[in-house]
Amino acid sequence: MLKKLPEYEKQLADIDEKLSRPETMQDMKLFKSLNQERSHLSPIIDELKTMQSLIKQIAEAQQILKEEDDQEMLELTREELHELEAHLVKSEQKTKMLLIPPDPLEGKDIIMEIRAGTGGEEAALFAANLFRMYSHYADTKGWKMEILSSNETGIGGYKELVVSIGGKDV
């Protein structure tokens, strides 16, 4: 994975150079695409640099273990080495997850349907509870909800409800 770091850094530099051009600012579709690509690459590069640093620290700790005679220092170095190796494993896992290409549908707005199932008024009330739950969740995320169509019952439930949800990272 670390072998690809220079390649990723070059890609990021190319993207930054393209983003700094005035003509890129005029083409909003290209600008958005470059920003999305940049936001995908930046965390990968950061995590690879973290891995690189950890590998260097592990090598230094192993060198100390070979050269040191003091038992107390050896014990401290072993503990540090154990922590660094655990941190490296976590960093490798995180990097692998970051290397998975983003879903092209990620970040798009959605349309959600809630329908009451079999059960009459009680099912309609449950559908209303579901809608309230999703509404509160959308509010906490800062998403915009808009009711496109609804079929209410007399006691405050919904037989059918169609909602549009939009915002960042929906």
Each residue of 59-115: pLDDT tens digit? 999 998 888 888 888 899 999 999 999 999 999 999 999 988 877 777 688 999 999
pLDDT for 92 equals 94
- 110-166 shares the fold of 2-99: no
Q: Is residue 116 within 8 Å of residue 158, measured between CB atoms?
A: yes
- The top-level CATH class assigned to 110-166 is alpha beta
Q: For the whole prediction, is pTM greater than 0.75?
A: no
Paired tokens of 45: 């590069």
DSSP collapsed to 3 states, 38-55: HHHHHHHHHHHHHHHHHH
pLDDT tens for each residue of 108-163: 889 999 999 888 899 999 999 999 999 999 999 999 999 999 999 989 899 999 99
Q: What are the extents of the domains in the chain?
A: 2-99, 110-166
pLDDT of residue 102: 72
CA dihedral 30, 31, 34, 36 (to 10 degrees): -110
- Strands (E) across 21-152 are located at 110-115, 144-152
Which CATH number is associated with domain 2-99?
1.20.58
